[in-house]
Structure 1
Amino acid sequence: MLGNTIFSLLGFIVIGGIGLLHAGEDAKKNDDGFESIFDGKTLDGWEEMPSLARKAWSVVDGMIVGEGDKGRGYLTYSKNKEIANFELKFLYRFPGKGNSGVNIRARVDKTGRRKFEGYHADIGHVGIGGNVLGAWDFHTPGRREHRCFRGDSLVIGKDDKPTITPLKDAVTVKDINKGGWNELHIIVNGNRFQFFLNGKPSAEFLEHLPEAKRLHSGMIQLQLHDPGMIVHFKDIRLKLLK
């Protein structure tokens, strides 16, 4: 009888341990399908590109810190460098002035014009202007760099001609926390690109260019643009879409 009791207890402990293990694994993913890609302690899973002698990126108090005086460049999510369709969310903060953003579907620029080519979601300090804060840039050699500022909905035709209309209920400067934390949310699905700030649409575009002129997959990169600037990132979450 005692043996059976001990056996039952051992079985309970083993099964319980397995359950806790799976619970720990599932904790990385939320019910909404997002997975944390920054552990809050290290830069594991991230790569500085180009590699700099003075490391411009570090982790302080649970956040990624980019320091412009240590070099201009990018912090690349290195666990998957061929990401196509996805949602990305994170919190960012500029203690002072600064210019940053996110490269998506990024690749090494073989023309040498830039370090990388890609679609670029711009962020910056409040006051930098709508052509940066909340805008899309097109760092793609061989095609036009269209305007897609905060408040714009852009459609790029097959002939590379743009059509811009106002974005309904777009975010304004009043919705952005100056010097504090703000949430960025990007949705990329096929040829549609959406950019939200603090839950409100900021800029979007839809491109109908021939497939050979479009970027279909690539890296996600956080940008460090200017000397003297500091930018903070935390709570970085990614959801891959089919």
Structure 2
Amino acid sequence: MIRRIALTVALFACVLICNPVTAAETNSHPAVPDGFKPMFDGKSLDGWKVMPESAAKAWFVKDHIIVGEGDKGRSYLTYHQGDIADFEMILDYRFPGKGNSGVSIRAQDDETGKRKFKSYHVDFGHVGIGKQVLGAWDFHTPNRREHACFRGDRLVINENDEPTVTKIEDAITLEEINKGGWNRVHIIARDNNFKFYINGKLSSEFTEHLPKERRLDKGMIQLQLHDPGMIVEFKDLYLKVLDD
């Protein structure tokens, strides 16, 4: 009997070792990273605001997860804590099916009327600006050039808004992104430099040298729901505002 129990324990231990379960694959709540504060209480959308208000039913909380479920059109869940300039943000996202989403940063109302908001946007989508869209920086800047900065790109924008693109060594690959499962995103916005990491590896980066009056210096943080009929999920969202 003792031998049988020992064998059972050994087999169970082997299963755990051979099939490790990460925090991103469960509903566990990992410790808050040093220096970061939670953006989501796990129970409600307190501290967040849906834009436009007509899309309020598209965003809700289920099983400690923020869910965006598209019905009529594009909407944003905005972190309602004022305009933010320099920061680091960590979150986990998942698409149960196909979809297009992301995080808009330094978002501001678009005075041109071409978009609802102008922003710099990290893209999680599988459709949109090109085959490398998943892991790209997307420029929602209708009053200036809307650059391409795809997964694996390091973009430098000079003072005349002209781009130079080089490749990132050891950038994350599509195969390293968990399709249909949870992925961890880390965004760093510091002055004129912007980095986008997925699962601990740099995906894309840009630096801009435009005059300050032509840059987006601060603004809202927004989770995006891009298309009707899609679902995107977020959890474990943390923010660290960086000092000047």
Same fold (TM over 0.5): yes
| Aligned match of 1:185 | 186
* 3-state SS in 2 of match to 1:124: coil
Structure-2 separation of matches of 1:35 and 1:157: 34
Structure-1 separation of matches of 2:71 and 2:44: 21
Indicate conservation of the 8 Å contact 1:54/1:71, yes or no.
no
Q: C-alpha offsets along residues 107-159 of structure 1, whole Å, 9 cap, x if unaligned?
A: 11111110001101100259996432100111112211111000000000001
Give identity over the alignment, percent: 65
Structure-1 separation of matches of 2:145 and 2:128: 27
Are 1:99 and 2:80 matched, yes or no? Answer: no
| Aligned match of 1:58 | 60
Structure-1 separation of matches of 2:128 and 2:55: 32
Indicate conservation of the 8 Å contact 1:195/1:204, yes or no.
yes
Indicate conservation of the 8 Å contact 1:126/1:178, yes or no.
no
1:128/1:211 CA distance change after superposition, 3 Å = closer
Q: C-alpha offsets along residues 160-207 of structure 1, whole Å, 9 cap, x if unaligned?
A: 110000011100011111100000110000000000000000000000
Structure-2 separation of matches of 1:128 and 1:116: 17
Structure-2 separation of matches of 1:37 and 1:100: 18
Question: Which runs of 5 or more residues in structure 2 are unaligned?
Answer: 1-30
1:125/1:140 CA distance change after superposition, 3 Å = closer
| Aligned match of 2:224 | 223
Compute the displacement of 1:59 (Å).
0.1
* 3-state SS in 1 of match to 2:54: coil
Residues 135-214 of structure 1 aligned to structure 2 (within 5 Å): 135-214=136-215
**Larger Rg over CA atoms:** 1
Structure-2 separation of matches of 1:154 and 1:46: 31
* 3-state SS in 2 of match to 1:237: strand
Aligned residues: 214
Q: Which runs of 4+ in 1 moved over 3 A?
A: 125-131
Q: C-alpha offsets along residues 208-231 of structure 1, whole Å, 9 cap, x if unaligned?
A: 001111011000000000111000
Residue identity in the other structure for 1:135: A
Structure-2 separation of matches of 1:175 and 1:127: 20
Compute the displacement of 1:72 (Å).
1.6
Compute the displacement of 1:71 (Å).
3.7
What is the TM-score when the length of structure 2 is the normalising length? Answer: 0.84
What is the TM-score when the length of structure 1 is the normalising length? Answer: 0.84
